Amino acid sequence: MTTQEIIIRRASRSPSSWNSETRTFDIVLSTGAPVMRFDMKGAYEEFISLDQQWPASVPLIDSHNRDSIGAVLGNVSNIRTVGGEVVGTATLSKHGELAQRIAAELSDGGKFSASIGYRVSQWTEEKRDGKRAKIATKYDLLEVSLVVIPADQAAGTRSGEHQMSEILETVETTETTTRAQTNASVRSIAELAGLSREWADGHIDVETSVDEVRRLAFEEMRTRGTRTREVRTATASVGFSGDDPEFRRAAMAEALYVRSNPMHQPSEAARPFIGLSLVEMAKDLLQSRSVSTIGMSPAGVIDRAMSMTTSDFPLLLGDVVNKELRTSYAAAPSGIKAVARMTTARDFRAKHKIMVSGPLTLEKVGEHGEFKSGAYAESKESYKLETFGRVVSFSRQAIVNDSLGGLSDPARMLGRAAAEFEASALVALITSNPVMADTKAVFHTDHDNLAGSGAAIDATSLSAARLALRTQTGLSGEPISVTPKFLIVGPAKETQAETVLHSISATTVDDVNVFSGKLTLIVEPRLTGNQWYVAADPAEIDGLEYAHLEGEGGPQVASEIGFDIDAVRFRVRLDFGGGWIDHRGWFKNPGA
């Protein structure tokens, strides 16, 4: 989950503080109870901090429908934290058919659930009771929704207990009140306070004043509210709620992933959905949004799921594509990436890397002496990101036929293609030998990193390459430390390289293999011919570098419903760039 994503959590208590005249009711937005979520690392419990700066007012909308003005039901104001709960006052609009219907149902004692939408700007992650937990420590409350399916079982709309004193004060008494009038007042208090007939009968025809009955009713309501909160808190601690459509969608995506990758061990959240067809999952997602599917054909279910403004079903398919693509992308062999440094770029402007060098050694400062300034030289290399991508489609017919292979196979191919593309780009940077900022090619005799003539891989040629790296100097001519770590070859030189690096049990001093265990062999199939390279660890010294757009490491997937074709379309996008930062960590031999 990124920091810009809008998150929702739902409550499941019905409003009983409805005031038909002012069209208001109090609502509990959150108790901070955990809600189970799902990301690329698996399931985790999400907590939200209740210590926030709350907005003066947020919209009250229908089921998180942020795309339609008709979905606005009113607003929620006076938002504050009270006794471990975030509460607010909801005002229902006087306009709109849906708002009028909700008002009517509230007046008839109807029940609704509450849900909040918020955008997190700061997370912390920790272990709680041995489980992974993420805490939203800073977030913006964007809206409150009336919904059908709950997720946060420990929060919801206010039951009206804060109005107890006002309600009970509506029953007035005087010193001349008769016993019959007192009994009537007792029953009225019990009815207004929501107490049972048995409770009222226990205070009829007894020597108890109306004031005392009112006090006892108040205490009974307080005790009942405490018991209710305790029960609800215990319920929330059971584990997770799978009723959240976003959580269900992520679990379904994992279940579909198991179908094409049987070796994957599904999480507990995904197990109930394993074996369901695409049509059955579409039906489940529709029902989670309170859309009836009774009497719908399989094709009708798919049509309805693809036309929903909430886009649950296309997002489900997009999640599957993303899982397949990312797995294939990570698994694709690419030895050349081991010798290049991976980083990120904030945008698509040229990414500059400044190299600083010079005799900045510490010098002795005598008593009352001056600290001497050190001069230094600098060099600047740059490269920038480019955007690459492809669009693939998954047809409506394939969805109805449950042909998951038509979705997973292209995703796997695109994941591998993305990895191949990056590796090919890095190899091209090596073989093309581009010109650097000093107007010389990366591998050049003036850089002391190019052999004067090609040679086979043996102890003598490797020794020369190692010596060249060990004796490299900085921009100002100062010696620097460059430790050879990798031997990079193409397929034509693989056997020769393995022979040289193989450990030999020497019987004489002359037979000792000095390079055994000293270099790691990288075989890059995209390298052709006899050329070979020796390189340092990119963590030690700059050399070849590549970057993705910040926050989007590797290929990204977006989905949409096709208009000109009857299908779900997926756009795979890769923001990638690479370049040479320094030549000093590499040595080239043309080979023989």
- The pair phi, psi for residue 421, each rounded to 5°, is -60, -45
Measured distance between the N- and C-terminal CA atoms of the chain, rounded to whole angstroms: 52
457-479 pLDDT, tens digit per residue, is 998 999 999 999 999 988 878 88
Each residue of 532-583: pLDDT tens digit?
A: 999 999 988 999 999 999 888 889 888 777 666 778 888 889 999 999 999 9
Instruction: Provide the token pair at 506.
Output: 């020497």
> d(Cα 486, Cα 79) in Å, to the nearest integer?
61
Domain ranges of the chain: 6-159, 164-234, 245-324, 325-361+384-592
Our separate counts of H helices and E strands in the chain read 13, 20
CATH pick for 325-361+384-592 out of 3.10.20, 1.25.40, 3.30.70, 3.90.1690: 3.90.1690
Residues 6+ apart with CB under 8 A from 202: none
Strands of 405-528, DSSP E: 484-489, 520-523
- Segment among 43-47, 68-72, 116-120, 410-414 with least mean pLDDT: 68-72
Q: Which residues contact 242 (CB under 8 A, 6 or more apart)?
A: 36, 248, 251, 269, 272
**pLDDT-based confidence at 503, cuts 50/70/90?**
low
Residue 230 has a CB neighbour count (10 Å cut-off) of: 10
Model-level pTM greater than 0.75? no
Distances in whole angstroms, Cα of residue 134 to Cα of each of 36, 40, 388: 10, 14, 33
Predicted pLDDT of residue 187: 75
d(CA 281, CA 273): 8
- Can you give the three-state secondary structure of 148-176, one letter per residue? CCCCECCCCECCCHHHHHHHHCCCCCCCC
Residues 6+ apart with CB under 8 A from 313: 281, 282, 285, 302, 305, 306
Q: pLDDT of 52-81, one tens digit each?
A: 889 988 888 887 777 677 788 899 999 988
d(CA 214, CA 167): 10
The pLDDT tens digits of the residues spanning 422-460 come to: 999 999 999 999 999 889 999 999 999 999 999 999 989
Asked whether residue 175 carries a pLDDT value surpassing 60, the answer given is: no
Rg of the chain, C-alpha, whole Å:
35
Return the higher-pLDDT residue of 508 and 390.
390
* Nearest in space to 407 (alpha carbons), one of 333, 332, 331, 319: 319
Q: How far apart, in whole angstroms, are the C-alpha atoms of residue 454 and residue 589?
A: 6
Q: Please compute the mean of the pLDDT values over residues 133-150 and round it to a whole number.
A: 82
Nearest to 476 by CA among 374, 335, 383, 564: 374
Q: At what angle do helices 245-260 and 312-331 cross, to 10 degrees?
A: 40
**Integer CA distances (angstroms), 161 to 165, 192, 215, 385, in order:** 9, 11, 14, 59
Whole-angstrom distance, CA of residue 525 vs CA of residue 188: 87
**pLDDT of amino acid 2:** 44
Cα 462 to Cα 456, 521, 589: the distances in Å are 9, 13, 9
pLDDT at 376: 55
Query: In this predicted model, what pLDDT tens digit does every residue of 86-95 receive, in sequence order?
Result: 888 989 988 8
pLDDT tens-place string over residues 296-338 = 888 888 888 887 756 678 888 888 888 888 888 888 777 899 8
